[in-house]
Chain A
């Protein structure tokens, strides 16, 4: 089955700096890669997703890149703000959507003011 590895497990940056979180996946058939943000004590919320027919996607300060050959994808947050502090999860699915999503273990991002 699919296995998703996520690094780093914790990341601390200064406000205004960029943050990068990386994930690798094992199933070459995976074709849907969402990222979720979970604030302390709250539910995971989708922040961006990418499908395998696209190499990069941006939404304001957030971008995701996908390298299908290397089977890895990354989340980039620019101009970080304290409210970006949260746990971020990557996930992968070979079903093209929410079915059979396998999540990474998460990255705790702390943005220091």
Chain B
């Protein structure tokens, strides 16, 4: 298994632009999590899905952020419009079910200038 696959690995964009981060789950996994990592705030849970359904989005910073899971194996995190304070590493993680360990992807390093 290739593990959780994220794309792109790096994204540099200008303030105000739309950014879309992509994630492919491990085959058979039913839970999907989006995390953001910064030096100041550490690892923060943004949103998670079970069986394609968003369960808790209380960590999503504001309406500029949205996440979708159009099918059982794929998810997107969109930021529109992006701002410099959105610069961070965004990790996608999946688990077999809610009670099993997390498997992280390699992350997307986002820089908004």
Contact = CB atoms under 8 A, between A and B. Distances in A.
B95 interface: yes
A102 B41 CA distance: 12
Nearest to A42: B106
Contacts of B43: 44, 89, 103, 106
B46 to A, nearest CB: 12
Contacts of A46: 101-103
Given A43-B91, A104-B42, A105-B42, A99 B100 contact: no
B42 A98 contact: no
A28 interface: no
A95 interface: yes
Contact of B104 (A44, A97, A99, A104): A44
Interface residues of B, number: 24
Interface residues of A, number: 21
Nearest to B98: A99
A95 B105 contact: no
Nearest to B56: A100
A101 B99 CA distance: 11
Interface in A77-106: 89, 95-106
Contacts of B103: 46
Given A43-B91, A43-B106, A103-B42, A95 B101 contact: no
Interface of B: 31, 33, 42-45, 48, 50, 55-56, 91, 93, 95, 97-107
Given A97-B97, A104-B42, 13 more contacts: A32-B99, A34-B102, A42-B106, A49-B101, A97-B95, A97-B100, A97-B101, A98-B33, A98-B98, A98-B101, A99-B31, A100-B45, A100-B56
Interface of A: 32, 34, 42-46, 49, 89, 95-106
